[in-house]
């Protein structure tokens, strides 16, 4: 089972960067924000529906049939992917550029492009803060701090998912306006996530915590989609799969470290303390976001900064 789980994760490590790298090849630069918002909304909607429907189907049909249904769904998705391809001229350009790439291309691109360096550094800090949302932290918080049963853990997760869906819908509605001010929305989204994380950790009432969990959703989607769009805009298409793969590796390593560190802090200082630490890390990420915005302003005015 561990081997199969590792194999699935290994293939996800190929599929997710490849999917995100395809987006700039399929839509124009002016439509990237809307496309990323649509993907983020569909992802959250499917996750939300999948959790609810999965439990019902397992209790009704049994786990074995549901697993075979999952296999069938992946077969359908694979067949659907065969109908997606970039324009021929883009494909030729990509094949020509591929000769000059290797497995270090993504890391070198991140190193050499100042905006990408800042984005990745910001993502590392945000990733370190994200360990507070794993089950090993959330469940004790619900049981010990909020004084509720395990069902409220599910309610809070569902509240976040609904907030993320609402945030994705708003992104689709205002994609054009947000596209022109990506850096501003990254700054606003980061400070919003930090504020509501602090408020969530300070909550003693389950309903209030549920509302803060819902409020986190739109701001997290705002940050995620804006950063994804910026990364796609600042990276050459031929190097984009390599950059996304390198970034995905960093994200996974940081998430594992965050889960370990946040678990240790919860054991040492109590589960509420980890949310304050997370909010402090998000304040650092906010400073990175301000630096990003400053670099963009300097670049627009023709000033070069190392």
Phi-psi category of residue 134: left, alpha or beta, with phi > 0 → left and psi -120 to 50 → alpha? beta
pLDDT digits (tens, 9 = 90+) for 45-96: 777 667 667 766 777 888 888 889 889 988 998 888 887 776 555 555 555 5
127 and 254 Cβ atoms separated by less than 8 Å = yes
The mean pLDDT value for 265-289 works out to 91
Q: How far apart are CA 227 and CA 32, in angstroms?
A: 11
Roughly how many angstroms between the first and final C-alpha of the chain, as a whole number? 48
Q: How far apart are CA 28 and CA 30, in angstroms?
A: 5
pLDDT digits (tens, 9 = 90+) for 214-268: 999 889 888 888 888 888 888 887 787 788 878 888 888 898 899 889 989 988 8
């Amino acid at each position: 089972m561990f081997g199969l789980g590792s194999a699935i994760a290994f293939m996800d490590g190929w599929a997710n960067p490849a999917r995100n790298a395809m987006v700039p090849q399929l839509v124009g630069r002016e439509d990237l924000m809307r496309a990323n918002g649509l993907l983020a909304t569909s992802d959250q909607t499917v996750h939300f529906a999948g959790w609810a429907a999965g439990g019902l189907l397992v209790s009704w049909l049994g786990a074995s049939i549901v697993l075979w249904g999952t296999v069938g769904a992946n077969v359908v998705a694979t067949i659907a992917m065969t109908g997606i391809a970039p324009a021929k001229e883009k494909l030729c350009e990509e094949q020509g550029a591929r000769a000059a790439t290797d497995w270090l291309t993504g890391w070198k691109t991140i190193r050499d492009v100042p905006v990408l360096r800042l984005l990745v550094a910001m993502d590392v800090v945000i990733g370190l803060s994200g360990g507070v949302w794993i089950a090993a932290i959330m469940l004790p918080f619900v049981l010990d701090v909020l004084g509720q049963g395990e069902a409220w853990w599910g309610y809070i997760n569902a509240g976040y998912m609904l907030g993320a869906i609402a945030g994705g819908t708003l992104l689709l509605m205002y994609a054009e306006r947000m596209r022109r001010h990506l850096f501003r929305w990254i700054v606003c989204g980061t400070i919003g996530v930090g504020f509501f994380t602090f408020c969530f950790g300070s909550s003693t009432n389950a309903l209030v915590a549920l509302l803060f969990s819902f409020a986190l959703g739109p701001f997290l989607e705002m940050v995620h989609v804006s950063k994804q769009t910026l990364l796609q805009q600042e990276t050459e298409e031929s190097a984009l799969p390599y950059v996304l793969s390198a970034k995905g590796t960093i994200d996974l390593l940081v998430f594992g470290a965050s889960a370990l560190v946040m678990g240790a802090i919860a054991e040492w200082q109590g589960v509420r303390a980890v949310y304050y630490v997370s909010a402090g890390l998000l304040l650092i990420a906010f400073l990175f976001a301000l630096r990003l915005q400053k670099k963009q302003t300097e670049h627009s005015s023709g000033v070069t900064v190392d």
